[in-house]
Homo-oligomer: A and B are copies of this chain.
Amino acid sequence: MKRVKLVVAYDGTDYHGWQVQPNGISIEEVLNKNLSELLGEKIEVIGASRTDAGVHSLGNVAVFDTNHRMPAEKISYAMNQRLPEDIVVVDSCEVKGDFHPRKCESRKTYEYRILNREFPDPTRRRDTHFCYRDLDVEKMRKAGSYLVGKHDFTSFCSSHAEVGLSKVRFLYSVSVKKEDDIIKIRLTGSGFLYNMVRIIAGTLMQVGMGDIEPEQMPIILARRDRVYAGPTAPAKGLTMIGIEYL
């Protein structure tokens, strides 16, 4: 028996998110089905980031145990022969039997992309959120800098999240930069609350429009109440970039 870690990239547009659920096809379900067929065993992966419907990934992590003798390194190639073209296993390797993608300490990186120009770009409509109002990137950058460090992010967490658990998280970095017409908000942290990146992105957009001043960010954090932050930005702009295990 060995434990295998997969690094999984996907275009989330046509999926109902990572997690298996009754009303639509999920990334996890497609992986389970194809791994089970490939290895001749019933496989159920454990995912690191349970991304929402429409969210993309370049490096989500999934783990499973198998008795099959196929070397872990070959599984990525064998899986890519079977998977639909919007899911790709970009790496597979053996890990220790006690490795758990959510419980082991890690740094996760997400990127939120905003296409900021007068008209939409049809070639980037699937992985960017379009905003025609001119956004002030400098203000967004300043606002983002207030989020770096250890904070209670209750204000930036969906009110549908589980009650009672700690909402304290550590953000290592928040960067905001514009490349051509696309503003990229990139966050690296020890962990993220439900919808946290999308709520931060929605709030930074309001800062960019001038509706919130950068200096209000510490106040919004201190309120510990979801109603003070901006709206949850649409899922399609969000990409899980990767996870580094420490």
Contact = CB atoms under 8 A, between A and B. Distances in A.
Contact of A123 (B80, B120, B121, B127): B127
Contacts of A125: 11, 85-86
A205 to B, nearest CB: 20
B123 A126 contact: yes
A164 interface: no
A121 B85 contact: no
Interface in A99-127: 118-123, 125-127
A58 interface: yes
B11 A120 contact: no
Contacts of A90: 118-119
Interface in A103-155: 118-123, 125-127
A78 to B, nearest CB: 13
Contact of A58 (B80, B121, B127): B121
A28 B91 CA distance: 42
Interface string A72-97: 00001000100001111111000000
Nearest to A10: B122
B122 A86 contact: yes
B76 A119 contact: yes
A86 B125 CA distance: 8
A191 to B, nearest CB: 23
A234 to B, nearest CB: 13
A232 B58 CA distance: 29
A49 interface: no
Nearest to A7: B119
A221 interface: no
Interface in A25-65: 56, 58
B56 A119 contact: no
A9 interface: yes
Interface of A: 9-11, 56, 58, 76, 80, 85-91, 118-123, 125-127, 239
